Structure 1
Amino acid sequence: MKILIKNSKEIKKIYKSCQLAAKVLEMIKDYIIPGISTEEINNICHNYITNIQKAIPATLGYNGFPKSVCISKNDIVCHGISHKNDILKQGDIVNIDVTILYNNYYGDTSKMFFVGEKISKQSKLLCLTAQKSLYKAISILKPGIRLYKIGQIIQKYVESKKFSVVRNYCGHGIGENFHEDPQILHYKSYDYGILLKPGMIFTIEPMINVGHHSVYLTNDNWTVKTKDRTNSAQYEHTVLITNLGKKILTLRKEEKEIFNNL
């Protein structure tokens, strides 16, 4: 395992890509309404990234992935592929996962959106729990912390709310490569004794399910769904370990007040 420690030049470039990714999520918010297709959402994001930001949507063509963002609705856990016939309905919950490549460096983030006003209490709690589990994990980050603590705190919180943590997919180091070491597991597991160090940059992206944590890969070889067809939610940030603690590189405007208190 080779964990790359980033220097200040690299950190600046990764931060720029991360901020561009965060802005895509801010931009798309007003378009998430009943009646829009997931394909339209993908196209709006693509045009914004390529024409306005002059950046590259990193998922497009990545290992053959056909779209510019991942759009995962309801029981889709991750890597959802948009389609013109996939229409958002009142009460849906949807994750949009954006990865930007800019000046040869990557930035990666995702969040949940509610479609319309009539969201079930369970779906609201699921999304809030996913978000809070991410925030709780971020709040403990600092040099010298064992890596497994991230998954431990997420699992404990999620299971206290009677939801489950997906085991099959994880966060990852990021920089000049989309996916680098270390893997960031969202449940307590062996971490090979890895300690967090200044200059480490990685994503934390817990996926949590209403029902069991079991998932399956659909026939398109990308879309991952819950086995029991219950809803799933995910939030993701790219974070930097600093000398004193951490910095969230993909922080959105709406979150700044929350993190002043962490």
Structure 2
Amino acid sequence: MTTDTYTGGLDGAVIAVAGAGGPAGRAVLHRLARSGAHVVAADADPQRLADAVDGARYEAGGSDVTGEVVDLFDLDSARAWAERIEKDHGRVDGLVHLVGGWRGSASFPETELSDWDTLEKLLVRTAQHTSLAFHDGLLRSPGGRYVLISASGASAPTAGNAAYGAAKAAAEAWTLAMGDSFRKLAPGDGPVAAAVILVVKALVHDEMRAQRPNAKFAGFTDVRDLAEAVADVWNASPEEVNGTRQWLTPRP
């Protein structure tokens, strides 16, 4: 049980990270743990999750990082996860949504609608489930934040990325609606919680650079820079960031 007094910011915050097993998840876990947060990670892959949690604990000097395999395709599972976090820690102060995936085609007419079926589950349904599961808990926190990682393709979809761009746009719209809920349910003049979208073109990490040493990755965001941007969401007031898109790449 987390018993420390929490008034906002990252130090002492209880933050859940969905989709924590990938390179971006590992970078975010490290950054949050180094700032003194109690981090609760979730992923569908047990081994990736275990590796990410162990790495974060090591990098952050034994910080409080735990992991749990959660089926985010199921709303009841997402709600049960959120409830366990509040029961174990007394509150929940953030949810960082990193669940991702990509499908594309060579041209618009060659788009496979099965790609939409896959991406709708990965990118839209999981965001719906985490936002609904954590909404009330984040409102109860003095520093509640919901952070969605999106892509510039939501605003400027290309012919071969129709399903991907549409799914990202839907997840963004859903998150902005959550931000409007935070605003309308605020007890005073402004929101006490915030829903924020961080927009990248694509992400890059050290393994990608090693595999493609001559690639320039123009406009890509390094996962460590993404992690810094996630942390910065807690450095701003809810009024500043609620219902906003924060661009980490040039706007199209």
Is the TM-score greater than 0.5? no
- The structure whose RCO (Cα within 8 Å, separation 6+) is larger is 1
Give the TM-score normalised by structure 1. 0.25
Give the structure with the larger strand fraction: 1
